[in-house]
Chains A and B, each alone.
Chain A
Amino acid sequence: MLDKLRIPERHYLHEGHSLRSWLLTKDHKRIAIMYLMSISVMFFIGGLFAVGIRFELATPQGDFVTADTYNKFFTMHGIIMVFFFLIPSIPAVLGNFLIPPMIGARDLAFPRINLLSLYIYWIGGIFTIYAMITGGVDTGWTFYTPYSAAGSNSHVIPVALGIFIAGFSSILTGLNFIVTIHRMRAPGMTWFRLPLFVWAHYATSLVQVLGTPVIAITIVMLFVERAFGFGIFDPARGGDPVLFQHLFWFYSHPAVYIMILPALGVTSELVSTFSKKTIFGYSFVAFSSLAIAIFGFIVWAHHMFVAGISTYSAMVFSFLSFSVAIPSAVKVFNWTATLYKGAVSFETPMLYAYGFIGLFAIGGLTGLFLATLGLDIHVHDTYFVVAHFHYIMVGGAIMGYLGGLHFWWPKITGRMYNNFFSKVSAIMVFVGFNITFFPQFVVGYLGMPRRYHSYPDEMQVLNVMSSAGATVLGLGYVLPVIYFLLSLRRGRVAGPNPWGASGLEWQTQSPPLTENFVEIPIVTGEPYEYDHVPAKESHLV
């Protein structure tokens, strides 16, 4: 029978309390916690810049800050959110914590490289924040030449170096995951018994490893251009500024798949767990992650349809861009089919999963507008694009991250958070998000360009709606900080498996042992089996 649940005596958080035991840890779970704290800080810094942007845009005139300051706001918002929040988020926090227990391993393949990747992230972050504090950068997160090489007087080089350094963190995480998933699976854990979360991270890691070096070399080339006056992109010396765009987007398009693939993996776990049903079409969902990763590398120039590329290249890239939409659609259909004849419940993680499905669908579908050449000419570099990528990055990736955090929080900490407020903030995030970003589709088609400090008067109402929504959204993000922190002291003890989920990580105590398992399990069953798992109770391994 179920004894009164208690936090176990021995677990990874008790294995040493000194600062040294944390800063020199090899435990993937402690590294994940340190990542969690770091990216949360980065998220709120990036969020502050967003507040500045939306505040300025509530009025048509540029009256809150100067043009230069505003330009720095949107640049730094983009840089922090993309490189220091979204790209690490799910892999560095949830991936790091969960991949070893999910596959039945004691740790990742290279624990010290894992720690190194955290240090590198910190160094890159400190570099970038320092550069931002001492003057900031105003090139846009896309750093297009010639403005970034010769036109801007801002701290381009230190910020670019910060991003370069942080890129290594991303590469090392990906490398670690690839080797771990190949070589550290428990006996009986074949590829097709892996949770879809693991498949998603494997695909993500491939992209991280193959794509990130290209932005690194692009930054090197920008650096020598700006610091030594080399002239690789300078038209006065025969260089081509559009070459920069090709090199930049060759990474930055796959980068968006680094940001969304893990969230797609989380959603599979949530939909399955909260329908108590195996994911419909498991192998299709698994392969769709790989397909997205691969196709993601051959579509980059769809960011450059009006940049002066030839009509024929534009057509090729438009065609290929549609191909990457299909695997994403397949996932959404498979999740829908999973719900059919399931046993569905709406705990907080499932609310986030629902929000994800809706917003990711809208974001993905609006990508089709952008892939369509005749339309992209009109909406490129307008708020239509801004709305599109925020639907995917915020409505998608961040909701996936929050959903995953809410799902695995009891495993990570051993405690449950406040049920009521967690549902309230999920709903606030969903509602606030839509009010913020849906009007941007409209004002974008109307013609409002991106990165505008001021705009024509007739566009004000839509902008005010957007800014109003941002307030609700922001509050929705602040609430979890409060109830998560409170749960550490006052949360109900969760036990090993409060959700009745499948997966090896739920067969262990909460919080887990440092070595994850007393004995490495031998896997004999398929993933996502619920018939024999009673809710709230399971075998302790």
Chain B
Amino acid sequence: MTIFGIPIFPDQASTFAKDVDTLYFFILTVCSFFALTVAILVVYFGLRYRRKREGQTGARIEGSLPLELMWSVIPTVIAMVMFGWGASVFYHLRRPPDDAMHIYAVGKQWMWKFQHLEGQREINELHIPAGRPIKVTVSSEDVLHSLYFPSFRTKIDAIPGRYTELWFEASKPGTYHIFCAEYCGTNHAGMIGSVTVLEPQAYQAWLQGGGEGGTMAERGARLFEQHACNSCHLDSGQGRGPSLKNIVGTTVELTDGNTAVVDDAYLRESILTSQAKIVKGFQPLMPTFQGLISEENLLALIEHVKLMSPQASTASGQPAGATPSPNAPKPPARPGEKKQ
């Protein structure tokens, strides 16, 4: 919901979002009532009983037991209603239906890795069907994280050494935020992504691995974003992975003392079995993308990396998909545009 184009209320994209919002508005109404009553009384009494002359004192009123009881008991009753209602919504939010589709999520500094039972793996992106309850089992590889879907109104912490879970049933196709909601270090604010809710047929198509448009290198650039390669392979070389700018055709030194030439085969190996060769001076932190990327997407990624070395000759491997330009394509600001 927006006012003058400014969003002030999140989408209701899950079946229980409405329940949560109704509860919210109930409490908001009750609290506004009390806050306004107190504010009005306090201002009214202050003006009506304004001190008019020097030395004037107030009336001698010590208290009133009936009043004290009334304004203790009534708020208690209201509080109990809030508690009961809240507990019942909570119970519903935490009890996944038996037939829920299962997805695994692992948080790690600083990305979310999702795994579908059918084998699809995603990083920072989650594609799900609308109209089916989905249970996400969550864990962490390192420190605490928290998987948060604001448009679904649910979150759960990701704890190392433990499994936790949340569930939802997405009701509205669209793309919504995923946030990490437990502070986890440097790039906590970057540990975000998007969940794309698809109509059931579109979801089936996605599962089949339907491609997206554009040149290979453009597709590769999008994939480079989506798989969060850019979160470690910073151009500056200060990231957790080596800079990929201008490396094609060069020779790199590895941690085991050997050297390697950066050609198509090397790039392919680094993506699929990243632990095989580690560049000297870096830690073996890169996840393997075996099973995560289709063959076509792998080639697209390699094209993109090659475009980051515009001066390199195309002597090794496949010809470049597009004329090398002086500027590598700039990655879009955030994966997945928000469609409202």
Contact = CB atoms under 8 A, between A and B. Distances in A.
A, B from the same assembly: yes
A345 B60 CA distance: 17
A342 B49 contact: yes
A380 B7 contact: no
Contacts of A447: 10, 148, 150-151, 177, 179
A366 B80 CA distance: 16
A341 B61 contact: yes
A236 interface: yes
Interface stretch (A43-51, A102-110, A306-314, A394-402): A306-314
A369 B181 CA distance: 18
B160 A459 contact: no
A6 interface: no
Nearest to B16: A374
B6 A345 contact: no
A127 interface: no
B130 to A, nearest CB: 20
Interface in A444-473: 445-447, 449-459, 461-462
Contacts of B52: 343
A459 B24 CA distance: 21
Contact of A343 (B39, B56, B90): B56
Contact of A140 (B23, B151, B183): B183
Contacts of A373: 86-87, 89-90
B88 A374 contact: yes
Nearest to A321: B83
A505 interface: no
A97 to B, nearest CB: 27
A241 B27 contact: no
A538 interface: no
Interface in A364-391: 365-366, 368-369, 371-378, 380-382
Interface stretch (B69-77, B240-248, B273-281): B69-77
A413 interface: no
Interface stretch (A82-90, A203-211, A271-279): A271-279
Interface in B45-93: 45-47, 49-52, 54-64, 67-68, 71-72, 75-76, 79-80, 82-83, 85-93
Contacts, number: 291
B331 to A, nearest CB: 14
Interface stretch (B186-194, B196-204, B262-270): B186-194
Interface stretch (B30-38, B218-226, B303-311, B315-323): B30-38
B82 A336 contact: no
B58 A446 contact: no
Given A62-B189, A276-B51, A374 B23 contact: yes
A354 B90 contact: no
B186 A71 contact: yes
Contacts of B89: 373-375
A534 interface: yes
A96 to B, nearest CB: 30
Given A306-B146, A315-B87, A447-B150, A236 B10 contact: no
B144 interface: yes
Contacts of A24: none
A328 B7 CA distance: 34
A381 B68 contact: no
Interface string A296-323: 0000000000111001001100110011
A147 B185 contact: yes
A65 interface: no
Most chain B C-beta atoms within 10 Å of own C-beta, residue among A150, A240, A241, A330: A241
Given A277-B58, A342-B49, A372 B23 contact: yes
A362 interface: yes
A374 B82 CA distance: 10
B182 interface: yes
Contacts of B86: 318, 371-376
Given A282-B63, A344-B46, A374-B20, A147 B153 contact: no
Given A306-B146, A341-B49, A357 B42 contact: yes
Given A147-B185, A151-B142, A375-B20, A361 B83 contact: no
Interface in A333-353: 333-337, 339-346
B6 A461 contact: yes
Contacts of A449: 148, 179-181, 189
A374 B157 contact: no
A341 B57 CA distance: 9
Nearest to A459: B7
B159 interface: yes
Interface residues of A, number: 97
A369 B186 CA distance: 30
Contacts of B24: 369, 375, 445
Given A280-B62, A381-B146, A381-B182, A452 B155 contact: no
A336 B67 CA distance: 12
B185 A322 contact: no
B45 A344 contact: yes
A462 B6 contact: yes
Interface string A260-296: 0000000000000001111011111000000000000
Contact of B189 (A67, A326, A336, A337): A67
A313 to B, nearest CB: 12
B93 to A, nearest CB: 6
B87 A446 contact: no
A267 to B, nearest CB: 12
Contact of A354 (B42, B67, B189): B42
A146 interface: yes
A307 B185 contact: no
Given A241-B159, A336-B42, A344 B188 contact: no
A380 B83 contact: no
B183 A450 contact: yes
A315 B89 CA distance: 11
Contacts of A326: 72, 75-76, 79
Nearest to B80: A322
Contacts of A462: 6, 8
28 contacts: A139-B183, A146-B160, A147-B183, A147-B185, A151-B109, A276-B58, A278-B62, A281-B63, A281-B68, A282-B63, A332-B38, A333-B71, A334-B63, A343-B58, A357-B38, A358-B38, A361-B35, A361-B39, A369-B28, A373-B87, A374-B90, A375-B24, A375-B27, A381-B155, A381-B182, A450-B181, A455-B189, A461-B6
10 interchain residue pairs of minimum CB distance: A447-B150, A235-B161, A277-B58, A374-B89, A372-B86, A373-B90, A342-B58, A339-B45, A322-B79, A365-B31
Interface of A: 62, 67-68, 71, 138-140, 144, 146-147, 150-152, 235-236, 240-242, 275-278, 280-284, 306-308, 311, 314-315, 318-319, 322-323, 325-326, 329-330, 332-337, 339-346, 354, 357-358, 361-362, 365-366, 368-369, 371-378, 380-382, 442, 445-447, 449-459, 461-462, 500, 530-531, 534-535
Interface of B: 6-10, 19-20, 23-24, 27-28, 31, 34-35, 38-39, 41-43, 45-47, 49-52, 54-64, 67-68, 71-72, 75-76, 79-80, 82-83, 85-94, 109, 142-144, 146, 148, 150-151, 153-157, 159-162, 164, 177, 179-190, 192, 333-334, 338
Given A277-B57, A375-B24, 15 more contacts: A275-B49, A276-B58, A278-B62, A326-B75, A340-B45, A341-B59, A343-B49, A362-B35, A374-B23, A446-B7, A449-B181, A452-B189, A456-B338, A462-B6, A531-B57
